[in-house]
């Protein structure tokens, strides 16, 4: 566990100006202490030995090209939370998603401007990401899916996927949790709408990586898309995502850029929008993350008759959002990510059997 006191933060970036800006921005925070700035991974190793940082902010596109190799070695020899920092380019977004797959706790984009409002908003996001990283713990390795946890095909459970809609919210640590869920989700699963707190630009790359690993079709959400079974939609970074009913099938609405609960996209915005969908049985899932985004929305879903699931404490990188939801009474079932698809199938089948039994009386 991290020692009590300011969060000791190491900056690793080959740009002197970026190191200077980061140091200045973080020095304004009473709970964050920059222990050093390294221009390459060799210097970073020396500073790690000297200062034992709690969090590392790592430029993943340094000129020598060894940032991702360094990240792999950190996971083995010094498993400290790492925040990947990349350029606001397509290559940077791909590198950021790859860093998250290798264990980075979060990803931020370098600001296009180091002055004014842009820098202010970016620095706020970085500070919150560092705090979340410091509060995190290494994710437990996923357990092999047991026969009980392996979900059957939706239709084999006598369920019509077109009658359901699954909503998932996640933040810090959620990228790995989502990977565990979507790897084993049956291909005829109901449509899934997902909000993962992630900066603008990264969600398209993240969706492509998930699509390559999942039986479902996974894509970044597009305004006006219909929510059909066998598909999962990742909310675009920097845009709120809602579910609306302008067609016989629910569809996605994207647009607003104002943060809610400090987030854009926000889990609460997604959850609350689905309450207006009257011809689908709703399932709400809240995964690991710092803060409370999605907790009250999950409570409102449960009060409206939805099945609600929270990630359990043992498997959370940050047991924040699911804990707040559980404390509010919003969570019906708690389980690790790999058990969530099977849990949904079994719970919906049990609810359907109960309904049929009551109807036959």
Q: From CA 264, how far away is CA 286, in angstroms rounded?
A: 16
**What is the Cα–Cα distance from 52 to 213, expressed in whole angstroms?**
36
Question: For residue 106, which of 131, 83, 124, 77 has the smallest C-alpha distance?
Answer: 83
Distance of CA 63 to the CA centre of its chain: 29
**10 Å Cβ neighbour count for 301?**
25
- For residues 191 and 227, is the Cβ–Cβ distance under 8 A? yes
**Residue 293 catalytic?**
yes
Those residues with Cβ within 8 angstroms of residue 259's Cβ, 6 or more apart along the chain or in another chain: 266
Catalytic residue of the set 123, 197, 263, 312? 197
Residues belonging to the chain: 361
Q: How many helices (H) and strands (E) does the chain have?
A: 11, 14
Q: Is 120 a catalytic residue?
A: no
Catalytic residue among 171, 205, 214, 266: 171
Measuring CA to CA, how many Å separate 15 from each of 19, 42, 130, 143, 226? Answer: 6, 15, 20, 41, 44
Catalytic residue among 293, 312, 315, 339: 293
Q: How far apart are CA 284 and CA 306, in angstroms?
A: 7
SS3 22: helix
Known active-site residue 93: no
Measured in whole angstroms, how far is the alpha carbon of residue 110 from the centre of its chain? Answer: 20
* Percent of the chain as helix, strand, coil, to the nearest 5: 40, 20, 40
DSSP assignment of 168-228, as one string? EEE-TTHHHHHHHHHHHS-TTPPPEEEEE---TTHHHHHHHHHHTT-SSEEEE--TT-B--
Residues taking part in catalysis: 171, 197, 293
């Amino acid at each position: 566990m991290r020692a009590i006191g300011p969060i000791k933060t190491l900056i690793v970036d080959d740009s002197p100006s970026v190191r200077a800006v980061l140091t200045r921005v973080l020095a304004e925070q009473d709970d964050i202490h920059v222990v050093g700035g390294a221009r390459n991974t060799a210097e970073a190793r020396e500073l790690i030995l000297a200062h034992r940082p709690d969090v590392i902010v790592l430029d993943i596109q340094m000129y020598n090209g060894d940032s991702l190799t360094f990240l792999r070695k950190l996971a083995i020899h010094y498993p400290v939370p790492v925040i990947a920092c990349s350029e606001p380019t397509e290559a940077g977004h791909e590198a950021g998603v790859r860093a998250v797959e290798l264990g980075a706790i979060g990803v931020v984009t370098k600001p296009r401007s180091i002055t004014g409002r842009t820098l202010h908003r970016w620095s706020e996001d970085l500070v919150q990401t560092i705090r979340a990283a410091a509060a995190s713990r290494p994710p437990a390795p996923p357990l092999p899916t047991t026969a009980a946890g392996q979900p059957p095909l939706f239709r084999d459970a006598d369920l019509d996927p077109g009658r359901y809609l699954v909503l998932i919210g996640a933040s810090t640590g959620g990228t790995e949790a989502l990977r565990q869920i979507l790897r084993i989700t049956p291909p005829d699963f109901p449509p899934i709408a997902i909000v993962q707190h992630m900066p603008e630009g990264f969600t398209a790359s993240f969706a492509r990586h998930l699509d390559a690993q999942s039986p479902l079709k996974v894509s970044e959400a597009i305004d006006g898309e219909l929510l059909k079974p066998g598909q999962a939609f990742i909310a675009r970074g920097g845009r709120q995502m809602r579910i609306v009913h302008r067609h016989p099938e629910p569809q996605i609405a994207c647009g607003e850029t104002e943060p809610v609960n400090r987030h854009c996209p926000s889990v609460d915005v997604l959850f609350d929008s689905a309450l207006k969908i009257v011809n689908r049985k709703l399932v709400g899932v809240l995964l690991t993350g710092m803060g409370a985004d999605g907790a009250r929305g999950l409570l409102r879903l449960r009060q409206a008759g939805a099945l609600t699931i929270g990630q359990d404490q043992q498997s959370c990188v940050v047991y924040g959002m699911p804990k707040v939801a559980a404390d509010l009474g919003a969570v019906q079932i708690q389980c690790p990510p790999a058990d969530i698809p099977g849990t949904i199938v079994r719970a919906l089948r049990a609810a359907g059997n109960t309904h049929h039994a009551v109807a036959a009386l």
